Structure 1
Amino acid sequence: MGAELTKAALTGPAEIGIVVYPGALMSAIYGLTDMFQVAGMQSLEQGGAAAPQIRVSHWQLMEDGTVRKTVDTHPGPSSGLGALILPPTLADLPVGKRMGDLPAWIREQHAGGTTICSVCGGAYLLAESGLASGRTVTTHWSHQELIANRYRDVRIDTDKLVIDEGDIITAGGMMAWINLGLKLVDRLLGTAVMLATARFMLVDPGAREQSYYSVFAPRLDHGDPVILKIQHWLHGTSTKGVTLQMMAERAGLGERTFLRRFQKATGLNPTEYCQRLRIAKSRELLERSYLSIEQVAWQSGYDDTNAYRKIFRKILGVSPKEYRLRFSVVGGTRHATA
């Protein structure tokens, strides 16, 4: 957390934007705004005046189709959006021409390194932007068939409450904004502040206690568009069989140049980055399936189960079996059929 404190002191509060579009659920918009302000209070209480904060801004779709900032809790110069939330809706779906410049604006923020988050019906707006193409997203179960039919290249998994792919995070039901909000607090301010925020607001952090183990939150705001493009590709595809040569060719760079730029931008070499993506996927399988450890290893991109166990322990500090015993939300020991 020390690094986060130093970064916050140098660059100011991390900014989270919330989109306000016609029909958006205002309780979610104001609830998230309040949660992030409570988190700031808890951060100050724990870390003093130099503790990191969250800056909240509202970005409204205007009648002329443009997008403008209408609320800012910390007015002044901004270093850019760290995350952008597309809230749920109870009314007309956020699709079609009436969304104006909003889908293109969302794409622009993502291209600049902003993590895009959707809640419930906000997944339509994510799909309208094109960023859900080839991805697996979650939403409310009642939207599953509609989204699947409208956006054929989007995979829907409504069994999961939250799917975190690093650069895109989707949350399921209407009240899943609570889960998303706590996840972002955990990512930006740390687990201790997240738990204090949950206690203050009398909401259950539940399985988010897994955050006591390291969470892979890749750097996306490094300013290298070529490397960011490769990151987006890696997050949206299986990394099994992906080689340094393949990544370098896709980036249009020589291998040594690509390796140097990737390391500089992300702080990890490409092999380590792919390993962390695979382990993040395996954590979801361990938490939410009855698959055996061998099956989890295979579906995560590892042919060698022993190698998978060693890498898992190296990154998280526990074995896959210990992790499952502690964080499984399905219960029991029944294994799925291969």
Structure 2
Amino acid sequence: MSPTDLPAEIGILLYPNVQLAAVYGLTDLFNLANRFATARQSSRSPALRVSHWRGTEASVAVERVFDTAPGTPPGSPTALILPPTFGEPMTSEEAVPLARWLCERHAEGTTLSSVCIGAFLLAETGLLAHRMATTHWVYAELLAQRFPKVRVDTDKLIIDDGDVITAGGLMAWTDLGLKLVDRLLGSTIMLEIARYLLADPPGREQRCYSSFSPRLNHGDEQILKVQHWLHASGAREVTLAAMAERARLEERTFLRRFRKATGLRPTEYCQHLRVGKAREMLEFSNRTVEQIAVAAGYEDTGAFRKVFQRITGLSPGDYRSRFGVSGRT
């Protein structure tokens, strides 16, 4: 079985005091999504693989302890979820082995995601530094104190940074689960699951303009390193030369390998990242379009408007009128 034939795998990490309702609820949600997706395929092979991961007694290794596709070749999950807990956040000392393991998976292309207190373990990896992240509002101040480099924003239920996703309250696992279904199986399956479960789809996914879902599990480590850098920096003030240098590749070779790995040219990839940030600001803030253009990395507002219209099909003003919570343009 070639890598392209393998089902997308969503792993759920079992760590101390994990909320079992979230673990089993997510497992059921993804199994249901797999059922709906395979029903549409002629091969009937699994479209989605769900696994549970737990640290050993020595807390040094992490192993797969549950698998809906046990005969499938082993490998790193496409996405990993850190569910909420009913206990206090793990201390930095307790989190070291798991944080190291999570960093290794992230380096292999796994998208890391957290719900509620799971954000503390995710922050221990250092991958949330200088990024926006959310958690339960009760723990927002503590998260900001323990990890001052993380920009905590509890006004948002989900913050999707492409390679890292954080979700807020205890029950936000349903929103995160639907978001991952949308990313891996498409909006049609996600909406079918939402209707079947009588759950509200995540805000952006129920709209006719899908969010950017980057390819991260392509196996090209040098290109993945550049992608992680772009996501962490918001693709601001980057040049082709800087990207090629970070990948330690000649520019021509970098361009070829980047497009092969991601399906996009570097410029297009950066535009999608910047427009994604701009969409969030248009939806949830009262900033002017000019201010948002600058915040998204565009000094020329006219150029920003053209790129935004091309990617979303709407002007920034029309997008805010349709999807913004404030309605101010």
Q: Secondary structure at the match of 1:130?
A: coil
Measure, in 1, the Cα distance between the counterparts of 2:25 and 2:204: 19
Measure, in 2, the Cα distance between the counterparts of 1:26 and 1:157: 26
Shift of 1:52: 6.0
1:18 aligns with 2:12: yes
Aligned residue for 1:4?
none
Aligned residue for 2:319?
323
Aligned residue for 2:66?
71
Instruction: Judge conservation of contact 1:191–1:212 (CA < 8 Å) in 2.
Output: no
Shift of 1:205: 1.1
Shift of 1:34: 0.6
1:245 aligns with 2:241: yes
Shift of 1:49: 4.7
Aligned residue for 1:154?
150
Aligned residue for 2:126?
130
In structure 1, stretches of 5+ residues that fail to align are 1-6
Aligned residue for 1:41?
35
Between Structure 1 and Structure 2, how many residues are aligned?
326
Aligned equivalent of 2:81, options 78, 85, 90 = 85
Measure, in 2, the Cα distance between the counterparts of 1:152 and 1:246: 28
Structure 1 letter corresponding to 2:302: N
TM-score between both structures, scaled by the size of structure 2: 0.93
Measure, in 2, the Cα distance between the counterparts of 1:212 and 1:13: 26
Aligned equivalent of 1:223, options 187, 197, 219 = 219
In structure 2, stretches of 5+ residues that fail to align are none
Shift of 1:294: 1.9
TM-score between both structures, scaled by the size of structure 1: 0.90
- CA separation of 1:11/1:298 partners in 2, compared to 1, >3 Å: closer, same or farther? same
Instruction: Judge conservation of contact 2:96–2:124 (CA < 8 Å) in 1.
Output: no
Aligned residue for 1:314?
310
- CA separation of 1:182/1:125 partners in 2, compared to 1, >3 Å: closer, same or farther? same
- CA separation of 1:272/1:222 partners in 2, compared to 1, >3 Å: closer, same or farther? same
Measure, in 2, the Cα distance between the counterparts of 1:145 and 1:173: 14
Measure, in 2, the Cα distance between the counterparts of 1:211 and 1:229: 31
Aligned residue for 2:26?
32
Instruction: Judge conservation of contact 1:158–1:172 (CA < 8 Å) in 2.
Output: yes
Aligned-residue identity in percent: 55
Measure, in 1, the Cα distance between the counterparts of 2:315 and 2:89: 43
- CA separation of 1:104/1:301 partners in 2, compared to 1, >3 Å: closer, same or farther? same
Measure, in 2, the Cα distance between the counterparts of 1:289 and 1:29: 33
- CA separation of 1:129/1:240 partners in 2, compared to 1, >3 Å: closer, same or farther? closer
Structure 1 letter corresponding to 2:275: I
- CA separation of 1:210/1:306 partners in 2, compared to 1, >3 Å: closer, same or farther? farther
Shift of 1:193: 0.8
Shift of 1:316: 1.7
1:177 aligns with 2:173: yes
